[in-house]
Structure 1
Amino acid sequence: MRVLITGGTGFIGAEVVRQLVAEGGHDITVFHVSGSQRRLADVADRVTLIRGDVGNISHVLDAVKTARPQAIFHLGAILSTASDLDPSAAMHANVNGTFNVLEAARILDVPQVLFASSIGTYGLGMTGPHIDDLTVQRPLSFYGTAKLFGEGAGNFYRHRYGLDFRGIRFPGICGPGVRTPGAAQFHSWVVEECAKGRPYTIEVAPHTRVPIVYVRDAAAGVLALARAPRERLVQFNYLINGVPPTPSAEQLADAVRARVPGARIDFRVDPQRQAFIDRLMKPVDDRFAREEWGWNPAYDTDAMLDDFLAELAAHPQRYPD
């Protein structure tokens, strides 16, 4: 398969690239804005790297012309907290960038676009006991608003132009090398900080549960959705979650302590962060993804932590401070 991956040097994108490289037989082009390629350093000779700005339509068109992809995995974006701090930059990258990808696919006859959306598209009006693909989407953040635009624009291109558009709504994603602040990042930071011998303060209450998925499962989900028979898909935009049950912050801390001798973890609640999580983070029902394209995450909490720590130990150069 010929595939173009925006954000391919980033957190999710690099793992998707690595999984495709491991499979073999793919022509992979990575479109990225960052100068850092450390996540892909050992496979860089097996992919094509194109540096550009997804918010610039000329850059996107040139990349698509070069790659001639059968699919675009649009994973590049400014993340949640950074988007809300600078809506103008997020408008350029996350709204205009998604539009540019869709337009390039239309103009240059790319059959498929897979879009990384977010649980952040949910917000006001969540009255049920859980979130699923039928829950009303009324985001409170600019990041979530931009992602909701992407879903809606993709659906328009699917209906109007026949584009095979598919979206995957990620919850919090846990894994090594997370650097951008966000509501759910404590899952990643408590593991990495303790593994590096530093103390970590979790800024939510011990009972707090935030839906998460391990980064390897998240990347595998991208590939599984991209490969699913089109005729089986009804929702087209899918919410996913990791292996249940979702651990509480205290359970996660205890699991880290059990694996990292001398881990120093405490709790100090940030009222604003806690209120945000309490208002928005409900249990996730991902039955549509499971039923329509076989979503089946492999990493429960124990397996996630074991692999996370093993990855940090084996490849510290990928995850510098």
Structure 2
Amino acid sequence: MSNAILITGSNGQLGTVLRTSLQQKYGKDKVIASDLRPSPNYDGIFETLDATNEEDLATIIKKYGIKEIYHLAAILSANGEKNPLASWNVNMMAFLNVLEASRLNGVEKIFYPSSIAVFGESAALENTPNDTFLDPLTAYGISKSAGEMWANYYFHKYDLDVRSLRYPGVIGYQSIPGGGTTDYAVEIYHSAVKEEAFNCFLKEDETLPMIFMEDAIRATIELMEAPREKIKIRTSYNLAGASFSPKEVAASIKEIYPRFEIIYAPDHRQEIAAKWPNSIDDSAARNDWGWQAEYDLKKMTATMIEKLRR
């Protein structure tokens, strides 16, 4: 096998959808999914891999002739705050291993997922620009902003084609949320379909940027397929879908479930969310490689409820 694609952290919220999308596009024999433990429902080639182990990573790259890596393995924001040093070690060591193993073993292209968590108190809360000072206040955000700098470094020093997106909160029906601060916007739909009251860990008016899973996956693949000369930013591109608050999601759900009830009980995740942008300026992605979101809140809600009902 040659010219294969490797996905690390493929059992996560994004990975479970991305691996299927890549299989449909390039064929099952070209996509190698990997994670810490096997995925029982996955139909394809799977390798058990701890991405912090550079030797095992290099072995898989050589075994399959990997030319592209989608590096998704990471500890997310809310879980990262429970053990900041573990979050830093996993997130940074895994990415540095991917960069080094790629440089030494002929990998041509790498995708690195960054996040709106890279923005801190210095960033404008409204329409946060792509090019702004990064002073994140979570372990996850610190690791993601450092990762952006390493991506830029490996591109300029070794000509390694690393590409990145700063994801907002990702909303999808395909898997269970994995410990992110924006995950209320997935859990709320599960409660609605079960006709249960939803306990929200954010304030009712805490507006955050979100993106629907289909848009996030399409953006990822479009970025990776764009001609090299169109990729002008080698830290990370802002990515936007729609911005809304828990109160607005609840209102959109009540159009379908009029008796839906939401209870607000802000916890430690509210402190994280308050420091993140309310909306994102993704004009650089739109101008450089033609990005355009398709889902607004109404379309997200209708699709989430329809799919979860099934």
Q: TM-score, normalised by structure 2?
A: 0.91
Q: How far off is 1:99 after superposition?
A: 0.4
- Secondary structure at the aligned position of 2:275 is classed as helix
Number of residue pairs matched by the alignment = 305
- Give, in whole Å, the separation in 2 of the partners of 1:297 and 1:117: 18
- Pairwise CA distance, 1:128: 6.8
Contact 1:178 1:185 in 2 (8 A): no
Q: Structure 1 residue 269: deviation in Å?
A: 4.1
Q: Does 1:6 align with 2:8?
A: yes
Residue 238 (structure 1) aligns with? 237
**Mapped contact 2:38–2:47 kept (Cα < 8 A):** no
Q: CA 1:180–1:157 in structure 2 vs 1: closer, same or farther (change >3 Å)? A: same
| Residue of structure 1 equivalent to 2:82 | 85
Correspondence for 1:190: 188
Match of 1:23 among 22, 25, 34: 25
Decide whether aligned partners of structure 1 residues 200 and 15 sit closer, same or farther in structure 2, where only a CA change above 3 A counts: same
Runs ≥4 residues deviating over 4 A: none
- SS where residue 182 of structure 2 aligns? coil
1:29 and 1:137 map into 2 onto residues whose CA distance is: 34
Matched, 1:32 2:54: no
- Taking the TM superposition and a 5 Å limit, the aligned residue runs for 1:173-184 are 173-176=170-173, 177-184=175-182
Match of 1:287 in 2: 283
Distance 2:88 2:53 in 1: 12
Return the alpha-carbon distance in structure 1 between the equivalents of residues 37 and 191 of structure 2. 24
Matches of 1:171 and 1:145, distance apart in 2: 16
Q: Give the gaps of 5 or more residues in structure 1.
A: 315-321
1:116 aligns with 2:113: yes
% same residue: 27
Residues 266-287 of structure 1, C-alpha deviations (whole Å, 9 max, x = no match): 33444x5444433332321000
Cα distance, 1:275–1:87 mapped onto 2, change above 3 Å: closer
Q: How many Å separate the matches in 1 of 2:129 and 2:162?
A: 19
In the alignment, structure 1 residue 96 sits paired with structure 2 residue 99? no
Q: Give CA deviations for 1:243-282 in whole Å, capped at 9, x if unaligned.
A: x4x2232121011122235422233444x54444333323
In structure 2, the gaps of 5 or more residues are: none
Q: Does structure 1 conserve the Cα–Cα contact (< 8 Å) formed by 2:13 and 2:178?
A: no
Q: Measure the CA separation in 2 of the matches of 1:225 and 1:58.
A: 29
1:201·1:267 contact (CA, 8 Å) conserved in 2? yes
Q: Is the 8 A contact 1:123 1:140 kept in 2?
A: yes
Match of residue 50, structure 1, among 41, 47, 51: 47
d(CA) in 2 for partners of 1:265, 1:79: 25
- In 2, the alpha carbon distance for the partners of 1:123 and 1:37 equals 39
Structure 1 residue aligned with 2:222:
224
| Cα contact 2:88–2:140 (8 A) shared by 1 | no
Which residue identity does 2:302 align to in structure 1?
D
TM, length-normalised to structure 1: 0.88
Match of residue 125 from structure 1: 122
Deviates more, 1:49-58 or 1:300-309: 300-309
Note the C-alpha offset of 1:24: 4.6
Q: Equivalent residue for 2:251? A: 254
Q: Deviations over 1:217-263 (max 9, x none)?
A: 11111101001111112113101010x4x223212101112223542
8 Å contact from structure 2 (residues 123, 132) kept in 1: yes
Whether 1:300 and 2:302 are equivalent positions in the alignment is no
User: Secondary structure in 1 aligned to 2:244?
Assistant: coil
User: How far off its partner does 1:60 sit?
Assistant: 0.9
Q: How far 1:125 sits from its partner (Å)?
A: 1.6
C-alpha contact (below 8 Å) 1:9/1:37 kept by paired residues? no
Cα distance in 1 for partners of 2:203, 2:138 equals 22
User: Given the superposition, is the C-alpha separation of residues 258 and 129 from structure 1 closer, same or farther in structure 2, using an over 3 Å criterion?
Assistant: closer
Cα RMSD (Å): 1.9
Q: Indicate conservation of the 8 Å contact 1:16/1:220, yes or no.
A: no
Q: Which residue in 2 is equivalent to 1:207?
A: 205
Q: How far did 1:129 drift?
A: 4.1
